[in-house]
């Protein structure tokens, strides 16, 4: 009797494991409520949590808090012999590609940025991670700055 109970329990566990392995929901689909600060698929505008520019995982252009996998679009240029590189930061998907783009501001001078404006930054490459220091926008730090 105990042996029959043990075999039926193992059978049920194997059926459950096989079902979850082969018949899962598609990647990204979930029956949970929408996380706070994320895009609601049924709403017209995204629900994005605001952060402080300069904090980790935050867009320096629009201050949107980015989740894992969301990246800031940028262009890093080759180094000239030092350990840092020049970098242009364009913004995150919420302030570049969105249907209703967020307010884009320079974190240094506070000026409003157009869709094609960018930030100028220094990229310091370190083993295991990198560090970015924003110098300003193309207007306040650009070629006509008079350095």
Question: How far is 114 from 122, CA to CA, in rounded Å?
Answer: 21
pLDDT tens string 32-86? 444 455 554 444 444 566 666 667 788 888 888 888 888 888 888 888 777 788 8
What is the pLDDT averaged over residues 128-135? 84
Q: 95 is written with which tokens? A: 């302030």
**4/130: higher pLDDT:** 4
Share of the chain above pLDDT 90, in %: 9
pTM of the model: 0.61
Q: How big is the chain, counted in residues?
A: 147
Say how many CA atoms lie within 13 Å of 66 toward its Cβ.
Answer: 22
Burial class for 39, CB neighbours closer than 10 Å (0-12, 13-18, 19+): middle
Distance of CA 103 to the CA centre of its chain: 17
């Amino acid at each position: 009797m105990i042996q029959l109970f043990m075999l039926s329990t193992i059978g049920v566990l194997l059926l459950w494991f096989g079902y979850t392995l082969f018949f899962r929901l598609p990647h990204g689909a979930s029956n949970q409520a929408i996380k706070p600060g994320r895009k609601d698929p049924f709403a017209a505008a995204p629900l994005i949590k605001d952060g402080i520019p300069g904090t980790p995982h935050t867009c320096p252009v629009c201050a949107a808090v980015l989740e894992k996998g969301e990246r800031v679009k940028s262009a890093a240029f080759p180094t000239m012999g030092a350990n840092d590189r020049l970098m242009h930061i364009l913004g995150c998907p919420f302030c570049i590609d969105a249907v209703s783009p967020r307010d884009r501001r320079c974190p240094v001078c506070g000026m409003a940025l157009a869709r094609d404006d960018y930030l100028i930054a220094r990229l310091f490459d370190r083993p295991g991670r990198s560090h970015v220091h924003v110098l300003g926008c193309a207007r306040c730090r650009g070629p006509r700055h008079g350095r």
